[in-house]
Chains A and B, each alone.
Chain A
């Protein structure tokens, strides 16, 4: 099967920062999680795949088309839904008006068909009860859902979601995972997140990005197994561990090579990720 999206040795520099430093991977149908600490290059990578930014070097292909070629780029954009990291909304626009506006940008010129499609995506994210309300007056979770609805317009085959669950409370996060998981049926979805639970809950595939490079690409189970036999509990902090933090029961959770006789436990996806990245990202550990 041809991959939905493919990046090969992609590099991008912003001033003195090398945001992407030779990233290579491909994704297929289903939900792929892009994990990485802050500044790993996740947003840059997603913006390149969403055809908003261009790489300095390397090859990008979406559905076999090259975003650097203008005709191809248009075809990619026609099949793309993009939720940016910090979606903005026009002052005074209602939920319906905002999504209708994005629908025009997506080439839906016939008013009746457009409105029917706008209502369809509003129902899909369960926002009919606020469809006439000003977007800027909504809660953070509802704003995200509004932006997600706009990304779902026109049934795109490739969804790029930049930290869709950031800033949501646990209940909203659960609701959002459900929506994204539904969206992943028959589509390629690429979402970035700090949250290993998001990945464990809804991704079939994980890419770990750090300092602009791909550290890992595989299934969530494979990422978890990175920590097989390398997680143990002890009452005292041990110097042998790469990472140590105190758990809820007061004992210390250690990651690394266990000393003889340590109480080795079943690892989580987070353990695998942390061992891979080699440091505790503040937000990921929160």
Chain B
């Protein structure tokens, strides 16, 4: 194709002086002709194009929000913090799906026998603690080394991520307990779970988060599972008022210690 739009017509077109079918003809031609496109392009203000380009770059490369990030920003977490929090491995759908599978199994088992009910009461409180284990730490977070060497306060990351994964996995556990017909059993996991979570956070003063979380989870679940397998269910003990009150006491004491800790307070106060 050797025909090109004559120069005066290009000038008239870019000035808006060409109308109707003649303009349509030019427009049809420039879709197919790089030369004429370039001549039309050169009439547009460079400043205008540059300013649009910088918005294009900003928009195109801005990472897209994940569902977790979207929820966190709605909950008032600053955008930058939300990005760091949403990268918690245990907020990934693969993690949540496996936790949900364990919960569903436990909820189903609770309907079968006393041992099954005990199984639910042992597993459900541990699920949010396992999610905390997968929130941050060496070998858990791929950028752990770099994040420790960065000025962002590690403890703030630990607390924000822990709170988020507890919320997500806690919601799953609540949904699973809706499938448990016995109301007493369905509610009895909550206080022990909170006790385990607050204990885990307290231990992060001395231990890495996954170590503290796995340790607490194992210290709770392993002996109880052993007893259940050997001697039958422990559901009566786990739903007993005595246990519920002791769990509540642990939560209160641990929360008091946590909030009294100046490091914890400093980490949460910082609001950039």
Chains A and B directly touch (beta carbon < 8 Å): yes
B80 CB within 8 Å of chain A: yes
List A residues 82-131 near B (Cβ within 8 Å). Answer: 82, 84, 87-91, 93-94, 96-97, 100-102, 104-109, 111-112, 115, 118-119, 131
Pick the residue among B62, B92, B146 that contacts A105 (CB under 8 A): B146
Q: CB-CB < 8 A to B146: which residues of A?
A: 82, 84, 87, 102, 105, 150
B25 CB within 8 Å of chain A: no
Chain A residue with the shortest CB-CB distance to B138? A52
Are B142 and A106 neighbours in the complex by a CB distance under 8 Å?
Answer: no
A77 CB within 8 Å of chain B: yes
A90 and B87 contact, Cβ closer than 8 Å, known pairs A109-B80, A111-B79, A119-B57 = yes
How far, in Å, is B37 (CB) from chain A's closest CB?
Answer: 24
Give the total of B residues in contact with A, Cβ under 8 Å: 27
Q: CB-CB < 8 A to A104: which residues of B?
A: 80-81, 83-84, 152
Alpha-carbon distance between A87 and B149 when the two chains are bound, in angstroms: 13
Alpha-carbon distance between A132 and B148 when the two chains are bound, in angstroms: 26
A77 and B150 contact, Cβ closer than 8 Å, known pairs A52-B145, A115-B62 = yes
Alpha-carbon distance between A91 and B81 when the two chains are bound, in angstroms: 19
Pick the residue among B145, B150, B272 that contacts A109 (CB under 8 A): B272
Alpha-carbon distance between A125 and B80 when the two chains are bound, in angstroms: 25
List B residues 153-212 near A (Cβ within 8 Å). Answer: none
Q: CB-CB < 8 A to A107: which residues of B?
A: 150-152, 272
A74 CB within 8 Å of chain B: yes
Are A82 and B145 neighbours in the complex by a CB distance under 8 Å?
Answer: yes
How far, in Å, is B53 (CB) from chain A's closest CB?
Answer: 12
Chain B residue with the shortest CB-CB distance to A73? B151
Alpha-carbon distance between A115 and B54 when the two chains are bound, in angstroms: 11
Pick the residue among A74, A101, A118 that contacts B83 (CB under 8 A): A101
Q: CB-CB < 8 A to B58: which residues of A?
A: 112, 115
Q: CB-CB < 8 A to B78: which residues of A?
A: 109
Alpha-carbon distance between A50 and B80 when the two chains are bound, in angstroms: 24
How far, in Å, is A5 (CB) from chain B's closest CB?
Answer: 14
Pick the residue among A89, A105, A111 that contacts B147 (CB under 8 A): A105
Q: CB-CB < 8 A to B80: which residues of A?
A: 104, 108-109, 111
Give the total of A residues in contact with B, Cβ under 8 Å: 36
Are A50 and B63 neighbours in the complex by a CB distance under 8 Å?
Answer: no
Alpha-carbon distance between A17 and B151 when the two chains are bound, in angstroms: 30
How far, in Å, is B119 (CB) from chain A's closest CB?
Answer: 32
Alpha-carbon distance between A88 and B58 when the two chains are bound, in angstroms: 26
Q: CB-CB < 8 A to B141: which residues of A?
A: 88
Alpha-carbon distance between A187 and B58 when the two chains are bound, in angstroms: 30
How far, in Å, is B209 (CB) from chain A's closest CB?
Answer: 16
Chain B residue with the shortest CB-CB distance to A135? B142
B144 CB within 8 Å of chain A: yes
How far, in Å, is A74 (CB) from chain B's closest CB?
Answer: 6
Are B150 and A96 neighbours in the complex by a CB distance under 8 Å?
Answer: no
24 A-B pairs, CB-CB below 8 angstroms? A47-B145, A50-B149, A51-B149, A52-B148, A74-B151, A78-B151, A82-B146, A84-B145, A84-B146, A88-B144, A88-B145, A90-B142, A96-B63, A100-B63, A100-B83, A102-B150, A104-B81, A104-B84, A105-B84, A105-B146, A106-B151, A107-B151, A112-B58, A131-B61
Residues on B facing A (Cβ under 8 Å): 57-58, 60-63, 78-81, 83-84, 87, 92, 141-152, 272
Residues on A facing B (Cβ under 8 Å): 47, 50-52, 74, 77-78, 80, 82, 84, 87-91, 93-94, 96-97, 100-102, 104-109, 111-112, 115, 118-119, 131-132, 150
Closest 10 CB pairs of A and B: A88-B142, A105-B150, A84-B145, A82-B149, A97-B63, A77-B151, A105-B152, A50-B149, A104-B80, A109-B272
